[in-house]
Amino acid sequence: MDEFGVIRNLSKSLPAPPPEVIAPIGDDCAVVRLGGTSWVAAADMLVSGHHFEDWAAPEDVGYKAVAVNVSDVAAMGGRPRFVLVSGGTPDPETALRCMKGVAEACEEFGVYQLGGDTTRARALTVNVSILGELPEPPMLRSGARPGDLLAVTGELGASAAGLLILQRDERAPERLVRKHLRPEPRVEVGLAAARLSVHAAIDLSDGLASDVRRVCEMSGVGCRVDLDHLPIAPDTRRISESLGHDPETLAATGGEDYELLFAAPERTLDALSRESNISITVVGEVIRGGATFLRGRKPVEDLTGWDHFSGPA
């Protein structure tokens, strides 16, 4: 069973939600309406040996744990506000270093830490729960319609290239390493997209190839994604090739980009591009039917992203 099997199973066992729940489990965040304001809520955990190894300093782990949660809020069109941070660490010094990273991220993203819990554990584990405010109706994964274009913010594959570098015990190019250790969630673009009524959004955590399928599944549509159009920076391309990886495949499946994927009509995406200081790149379109990935106009098979229950335990 993969992570989505577990979520499906869990969703089935939940009772009917109370009326305040606008969107239940199954999107980037749940949405609840309280006292006239809509809030998004999510939680995300980083585990040593699975999400990171010794190459990540505890400060980086703490920072990233907050950043990836902020990214889920951004994907809904929300503004991150509050976090609760819990974790297990082998010693108090690691806990303090990790919390330093948490505090840096909270300052960077304008988030206030309400509290949390710490305990002794064999390996560093951090869990962040986040609350964000929704100024507009949420962007859900389920809103994509045939005729929409698919577009991504920023660039793809830089984080995966950074990971390849770290795994070889190297630290350069520093820009790519930093992309992996300290992701930059797209909060402002997410807010603008919700304001412009973008039809659907998701943050790219597991890789475009699997995350776009999630949007299609939830929306009951298909897609055609052109891998030749993926925004890949020259340094990502160079490192990827020099380490024996195909850049387009790395960009589509590497994961942890924490960019946003949107489904929206062309004119909406044009308006978003004009408003945003981050590049917005059209990578495909929403169609009826299944998900197809093209390379030089030919279909590519077997593109998959990150599976949360594979890899080292």
Residue 231 has which token pair? Answer: 């925004």
> What Å distances lie between residue 116 and 52, 85, 88, 99, 226, CA to CA?
22, 5, 11, 11, 43
* Residue 28 beta carbon to Mg ion: minimum distance, rounded to whole angstroms: 4
Instruction: Say how far apart CA 167 and CA 311 lie, in whole Å.
Output: 15
Indicate the residue among 28 and 257 with the shorter CB distance to Mg ion: 28
Instruction: Say how far apart CA 99 and CA 113 lie, in whole Å.
Output: 10
Indicate the residue among 26 and 137 with the shorter CB distance to Mg ion: 26
* Residue 187 beta carbon to Mg ion: minimum distance, rounded to whole angstroms: 14
Phi-psi region for residue 9, left (φ > 0), alpha (ψ -120 to 50) or beta?
Answer: alpha
Indicate the residue among 72 and 226 with the shorter CB distance to Mg ion: 72
* Residue 42 beta carbon to Mg ion: minimum distance, rounded to whole angstroms: 8
Instruction: Say how far apart CA 260 and CA 152 lie, in whole Å.
Output: 6
Query: For residue 23, what are the β-bridge partners?
Result: 31
For residues 183 and 256, the answer to whether their CB atoms sit within 8 Å is yes
Residue 113 has which token pair? Answer: 């830490």
* Residue 152 beta carbon to Mg ion: minimum distance, rounded to whole angstroms: 14
* Residue 123 beta carbon to Mg ion: minimum distance, rounded to whole angstroms: 24
Residue 286, SS3 per DSSP: strand
Indicate the residue among 203 and 285 with the shorter CB distance to Mg ion: 203
How does DSSP assign 45-98, residue by residue? EEEBTTTB-TTS-HHHHHHHHHHHHHHHHHHHT-EEEEEEEEEEESSHHHHHHH
* Residue 185 beta carbon to Mg ion: minimum distance, rounded to whole angstroms: 10
Indicate the residue among 59 and 259 with the shorter CB distance to Mg ion: 259
Instruction: Say how far apart CA 60 and CA 305 lie, in whole Å.
Output: 23
- Would you give the end-to-end CA distance of the chain in angstroms? 15
- Find all residues with CB under 8 Å of 307, minimum gap 6, and list them: 2, 3
In this structure, which amino acid lies at residue 278? I
* Residue 73 beta carbon to Mg ion: minimum distance, rounded to whole angstroms: 9
* Residue 49 beta carbon to Mg ion: minimum distance, rounded to whole angstroms: 22
Residues that bind Mg ion (CB under 5 A): 28, 72, 203, 205
Indicate the residue among 71 and 94 with the shorter CB distance to Mg ion: 71
Indicate the residue among 248 and 259 with the shorter CB distance to Mg ion: 259
Indicate the residue among 26 and 173 with the shorter CB distance to Mg ion: 26
The DSSP symbol for 49 reads: T
Q: Which residue's CB atom is positioned nearest to Mg ion?
A: 28
For residue 92, is the peptide bond before it cis, meaning its omega torsion is within 30 degrees of 0? no
